[in-house]
Amino acid sequence: MTSSLGTVLVTGGAGFIGCELSRALAPSADRWVVLDNMHPQVHASPDTRPERLAAEAELVVGDVTDATAWDELLAQVRPDVVFHLAAETGTAQSLAESNRHASVNVVGTTQMADAFTRAGHDPAHIVLTSSRAVYGEGLWRRTDGETFYPPQRTRAQLEAQQWEVEGAEHVPNAAAVSFPAPVSVYGATKLAQEHVLSAWVGARSTALSVLRLQNVYGPGQSLSNPYTGIVPLFSRIAAEGRSIPLYEDGDITRDFVFIDDVVSALVAAAATPPTGLPRTLDVGTGVRTTIRDLAETVAAMHAAPAPEVTAQFRDGDVRHAACDVAATTAALGWTPQWSMADGVRALQAWIDEQNVPAGS
């Protein structure tokens, strides 16, 4: 079947987002090749091909940090489009495993660039999945209208339960307005990915799209990965009849974006590559949700006890994260379709189908 996408390479393409993307696009690509190291933190059965990976996908087990793996792959594959999804995730984990995150996220990206140079091949378009973590605490506005960027909240502030920035409110992040200032190693490595690829394509004929994703969730998420996200975590706790613990005061906010909306944004980005400079777009719902609201929604679905505020906190966590998707809608003709309540309901139905023993 002929497709405008041609041959597609997806790094990290056997993971959550990669599998769902393959189900949407692989059948219409000339060739769909996945490079993934099948890390056991993500894959409960690393030796087993993921069930949700499209049948048309060619799975190549290899590591993006391995130059030999790249050379062997590019000797056989000349991708027209590259979805660069491979990354170590986890804000808190990145503080304890900084080298691992930097190796995969930064060195893995430079290895990819060098491999294309050695192979003498420039893809037509690279689509990078970046993260809202690059913004850090983000842009804030005082009551008098003045905007500023607060520093990272210190351990002393968090221990004193000084959660908020007094006399100001968080402004939804937008790539054209908000200056990136990551406060986690993970966020710093994702921003480095953006910088590396932007510099590399500047000397090539390759277009670059950077999509900064908010908190992605939905069917297909790893249920064994402790860093997979709070939506499946909350679902599992409530399903066990336990009260969901709320960090800080429960009023942390996030933009929870359903996997189908993320996939449709990636599809739209691939279909309409930029014609000039690299573009950076935000992918979320544009709706701010407190973790309290999320927890209460999940608890109600299971008739679980009411969530409880614990005043616990995580180093490197930001207080608020939300985005403005107007620029993304204008550039891609894309709009999010899923509400938080509908998305959580769909995720929980899928979790129930997995028959995962409680507490596992």
| CATH 3.20.20.120 matches 7-354 | no
pLDDT of residue 143: 93
More confident residue, 260 or 3: 260
Query: Residue holding tokens 């139905």?
Result: 349
53 CB-contact burial (10 Å; exposed 0-12 / middle 13-18 / buried 19+): buried
Report d(CA 82, CA 156) in Å as an integer. Answer: 43
Residue-wise pLDDT for 84-133, tens only, equals 999 988 766 667 678 999 999 999 999 999 999 999 999 999 999 999 99
Q: Which amino acid is present at 262?
A: V
pLDDT of residue 358: 45
Report d(CA 322, CA 285) in Å as an integer. Answer: 8
Report d(CA 196, CA 193) in Å as an integer. Answer: 5
Report d(CA 238, CA 242) in Å as an integer. Answer: 5
Alpha carbon 336 to chain centroid, angstroms: 16
Q: Which residues contact 357 (CB under 8 A, 6 or more apart)?
A: none
343 pLDDT band, cuts 50/70/90, is: very high
**Helix-strand-coil split of the chain, %, nearest 5:** 35, 20, 45
Report d(CA 225, CA 40) in Å as an integer. Answer: 9
> Is there a catalytic annotation at residue 247?
no
Domain boundary assignment for the chain: 7-354
CA nearest 258: which of 345, 171, 128, 170?
Answer: 345
Report d(CA 116, CA 73) in Å as an integer. Answer: 10
DSSP-derived 3-state class of residue 320: strand
176 CB-contact burial (10 Å; exposed 0-12 / middle 13-18 / buried 19+): exposed
pLDDT of residue 92: 65
Half-sphere exposure of 75 (CA within 13 A, CB side): 6
pLDDT exceeds 60 at position 2? no
Query: Mean of the per-residue pLDDT values for the chain?
Result: 93
265 pLDDT band, cuts 50/70/90, is: very high
**What average pLDDT does range 336-346 have in this prediction?**
96
Copy the structure tokens of residue 241: 């009849």
356 pLDDT band, cuts 50/70/90, is: low
pLDDT of residue 227: 66
pLDDT of residue 39: 83
Which residues lie across from 210 on neighbouring strands?
128, 280
Single out the catalytic residue among 135, 149, 186, 247. Answer: 186
pLDDT exceeds 50 at position 321? yes
pLDDT of residue 96: 66
Residue-wise pLDDT for 9-50, tens only, equals 999 999 999 999 999 999 999 999 999 999 877 777 778 899
pLDDT of residue 223: 77
pTM for this model (two decimals): 0.94
Residue-wise pLDDT for 176-221, tens only, equals 999 999 999 999 999 999 999 999 999 999 999 999 999 999 999 9
Report d(CA 229, CA 89) in Å as an integer. Answer: 10
Rounded percentage of the chain residues whose pLDDT exceeds 70: 94
pLDDT of residue 359: 45
**What average pLDDT does range 307-314 have in this prediction?**
95
